[in-house]
Amino acid sequence: MNAHPGPGDMSSQPSLWRRAAWPARLVLAGVFLAAAAPKLADPAGFAAAIANYRAFPDALVNLVATIVPALELVGALALLSPWRRGGALLLGALLLGFTALLATSLARGLDVSCGCFGGADVTNAAETAGDPVRPLHLLRNLGLLALVALSLAEPRTATAAPATNVR
């Protein structure tokens, strides 16, 4: 029996999940960092975009506009850290909420700016400013949810129990 795996031994190679999960986490982190930055820079603009959905009471719009980008930032950074599973779960939950909000706005026939990567452009009142919500947004979110699933499917790394010297 050979105690040292050779180059042909597949058990010494990283799994497909492990090889695919790292790029998935990088893409997700990049998308959510890019989404959080303009919202954090212009919370009033993002609050205006949220208010256009008419999904939250006016009293909660500013709170949501503050918390959502902070959660996006935390989730994106967590994906690149040892807390990557928690980051993936957080971003997956946010994506499910965003997808439900987009789907209901489409079903209600609202003509609103997505606000996905920042606030509403209030200077352009003649047409929906920014990125109007379309069914393509739902497909994009489904793709991002697939990346979350891929990140979560990565096997957990086994951590060795600390050695104790019990006598």
Quote the pTM value: 0.79
Read off the pLDDT of residues 15-28 as tens digits, 9 standing for 90 and up: 777 788 899 999 99
Residue 123 per-residue DSSP state:
T
Closest by CA to 31, choosing from 155, 137, 164, is 137
pLDDT of residue 157: 65
Is 3 domain-assigned?
no
Domain that holds residue 47: 15-120+128-152
- Between 126 and 118, the higher pLDDT residue: 118
Structural domain total, the chain: 1
- In order of 1, 107, 163, the CA distances from 118 in angstroms are 60, 23, 50
Is 32 domain-assigned?
yes
Average pLDDT of span 122-128: 41
Residues 133, 114: contact at Cβ < 8 Å? Answer: yes
**What phi and psi, each to the nearest 5 degrees, are found at residue 134?**
-140, 165
Is 27 domain-assigned?
yes
Is 157 domain-assigned?
no
Is 57 domain-assigned?
yes
Residue 126 has pLDDT above 50, yes or no: no
Rounded to whole angstroms, the Cα distance separating 152 from 160 reads 21
Is 166 domain-assigned?
no
pLDDT of residue 165: 53
Residues 40, 73: contact at Cβ < 8 Å? Answer: yes
% of the chain residues with pLDDT over 90: 65
Is 159 domain-assigned?
no
